[in-house]
Amino acid sequence: MGRLLLYSFFIFLAGAFLYSLFFLNWFLTLLVHSGLQIDFLLDAANWLFLLALFLAGVEFAMHGLSGRQRVVRSEPVTNQRVSVGMTAYNDELSIGGAVKEFKHLKEVASIVVIDNNSVDSTAKVAARAGARVVREYVQGYGAACIRALKEARKNGNLVCLVEGDQTFVASDLKKLIAYIENVDMVFGTRTTMEIVEPDSQVTPFIHIGNVFVAKLIQIRHWGKLRVTDCGCTYRLVRPEALDKIIGELSVTGSHFLPHMLTIALKHDLKVIECPIMFRKRVGASKVVGSDFFKGLANGIQMIWTILSS
């Protein structure tokens, strides 16, 4: 469900772009009494709009407006014992505080830190703070996340994925737990700006980009979820649900998060997002941070992941 709808959306955008070029030329013609002969753009835009409407109509005719019949689920997880998998790469300044913050929660049963080939004292600081440390030799954010999920799966009755840069607040885990009785996976969203620190990595560009890519996922999987953030690491998943998808998680780069979500939706897992607080990170970002060009490149990879899923 949703592939034709997603194609329809991009065709519609292409048509809108051609329309804008046509009317920009028309406006310039009025101003300077001279313009290009580009009437064909109007015809092309009209055909693109018709094609977009046709594809959307075919999609809805095949699957309906709702996508699937919703079944409300209520399966509380009693005696929550959360196993936290925490990614880290050259995070010696933040990892100790992150581990200690999660250790203070009574719901947390264990913490494993995935050291993704750090060249500083990340592993020593994490171990000193009370975490089990595992080294992941395959370099990449996605590789560290996959290893974190696998290692955390070995303990507890809930699995939490989080980064060790202290951008996420440990107490928000209670928010995720509150939703897990209704779904298979809860993931945070950093788009509720009232609880996002103004000096965090969520710049206006990153915010808009995350929402845009998230809505592409929502269109692609129409009727299965509402999503506003495609790049939030903070996630809580039931172990039995993780078992269904862990073998298909293969993206080792920084576009892992939408990949994980699309695999979960492919297996019809029920997922929901929850607003979480987001702080300024401790130390320097190694993935995207607030870098415009890194964010753009990562966004393109995410879009391709969604289109090809």
- For residue 251, which of 260, 262, 243 has the smallest C-alpha distance? 260
Q: Which two tokens stand for residue 14?
A: 């292409």
Query: pLDDT value at position 150?
Result: 98
Ordered mean pLDDT values, 10 residues apiece, the chain (309 residues):
78 87 77 68 83 79 61 88 98 98 97 98 98 98 98 97 97 97 97 92 87 91 89 96 97 94 94 96 70 74 81
Q: Percent of the chain at pLDDT above 90?
A: 58
- For residue 302, which of 240, 230, 246, 218 has the smallest C-alpha distance? 230
Contact 229/191 with Cβ under 8 angstroms? Answer: yes
Find the angle CA(135)-CA(138)-CA(144) to the nearest 5 degrees: 65
Q: pLDDT per residue over 172-215, tens digit each?
A: 999 999 999 999 999 999 999 999 999 888 888 888 988 999 99
82 - beta bridge partners?
Answer: 108, 158
260-288 burial, b if ≥16 CB within 10 A, otherwise e?
bbbbbbeeebbbbbbbbbbbebbbeebbb
Question: Could you tell me the pTM of the whole model?
Answer: 0.83
Q: pLDDT per residue over 244-270, tens digit each?
A: 999 999 999 999 999 999 999 999 999
Q: Which two tokens stand for residue 195?
A: 């609880």
